[in-house]
Chain A
Amino acid sequence: MEPVVELRGIVKVYPDGVRALDGVSLRLYPGRVHAVLGENGAGKTTLMRILYGEIKPTRGELLLDGRPARFRGTRDAIRRGIAMIYQHPRLVPTLTVWENVLLYFASAGVPEGEAEERLEEARRITGFDVPLDARVEDLPLGARQRAEILRSIAAGARVLILDEPTTNLTPQEFEGLARAIEGAKREGLAVAYITHRLPEVKAIADLVTVLRRGRVVASELDPRGASEEELARLMVGELPPRPSRSRGGPGDRVVLSIEGLRARGRMEVFVERLEVREGEVLGLAGVEGNGQEELVGAIVGYTPRLSGRVVVLGRVNPTPREYYRAGAAYIPGDRSKALVLHFSVAENLAFLRYAHEGPALLTFSRLARLYREVAGEYGIVAESPWAPAGSLSGGNQQKLLAASQLHMRPRFLLAVNPTRGLDVATTRYVRGLIARLADEGAGVMLVSSDLDEIIELSDRVAVISRGRITGILPAGKATPERIGLLMGGAA
């Protein structure tokens, strides 16, 4: 079969010298779903951004219908029928869906008069419907993604690139996506499906190409002929062992208790009752933006509590300072907000130490010693203690953040998406640290949008939807399906 698109020997060196792609080739065929599998940082997204004309390759060629093509920008790619659905929706939030569609149609060269008719056709193909008059920012992320797919197909796309499309979806929404992809296949679209999740590859792909560190390690495999274990090995090389919980069961002491808490940030959350005991991990699952941020803020003390009580290690409604001084730790979801990236590694450790222990006279030699202790224990790789934290790789930054919290031997840990954006090895390492902390008797609340992570580590799983806890399941009953239903708001 003739490919619609072929990328040949693509090399991409970013301005900062990072070699993201090193001679990658990929072919996309009409009516086939080609999965591009790889870890974070393997170069998948870079490859797709090149195909979409957003960035230019350092070397290599792009062939469209067998003829060389050169894109000066995304507009050229859109015009030639290439559509990209980014991991996080790229619609202008302040405009309506319809206005976004019009802008895209203008780029694609679709006459405005045909817009309605084309959208109707795309609705039929995908089974998606989205409110065109809604402002984008009022829509949940899943609906924004559906709007993007709908308008891409309406604009006559021949190639549909989906970059980690399930990041912001519930398991139920995934089924809708799979049906839309089926529809697109029947229409003869070539689909590139970017992911690091193996079950999705097995469920959806006709072909799979595996990338590791900017190189192709396996090309156009049949996913039915390869086991998940094989694919995983191709993707990451050697796999470190999964962390295991000894699950000694929770102790008697309650380290976090929440009663009748009402708090408001960007949205309002209300939690009737929630407890974490020593020695247990309570997972909090939910689609992002359903009140996790507000609940976490209300526990640590930076989101105003309107009513009710939060008790952390005996401290009632603590301020952030009291929270840390009580012996509690916090790994926030966004590490760029928890670390001062242009300050040195050692200085960052000093800040975090200060939060837990209060003021002390710090000398360079004491800072260096603190750094050596922590870096040694947690395997942090930095040029020196005085290198800026921002110069560390994402994985090392996350280790630094986790280390700075765990080094204090907290009795309660609140961790938010502690492994987001990390490779498999570092992910397992960080999860191992959390498991060990709980096994040693601390209580942990794990807030994560990664269901696998929640299920792997938790003794109990609470699910949050629209600012309410919709259910609490013991580990044995916390299957992705049941959690998914609760995430969608079903009681």
Chain B
Amino acid sequence: MTALWVMIAGALGAMGRFSLDRVIERAFHRPTVAGIVVVNLVGSFVLGAIIGASVHTGGGSPLPHLSTTTSVALTAGLCGGFTTFSTAMADTLRLFQDGRSGQALFHLFGTFAGAVMCCQLGYAFFA
């Protein structure tokens, strides 16, 4: 049963990623790696928040305590489906192939550093 909820949440996450990415590309009026960067940063923040909410012991988190199934569906499903590693790597490759090696390296490591910070922010705020 948990697997079904994970898949449903994953579908919602993937649709959310696709929508946000497309909205950002439309705002930029050109193909851009910014969409997936924003998706991965936001997704990491939300993941940290959910993990924080699921480990907290009743002390002051703004989020309610989550059952195991809900927690797995939201983390592995929703956030896992929302964020994407493969497209981030393809975007980095695209920057390298365009000859923008500096941007590619910043995209690769800078985005990840940002994602770790967003995750910790979410965790710290909601734990």
Q: Decide whether A and B assemble into one complex.
A: no
> Using a CB–CB distance below 8 Å, which chain A residues touch chain B?
none
Chain B positions near chain A (C-beta within 8 angstroms): none
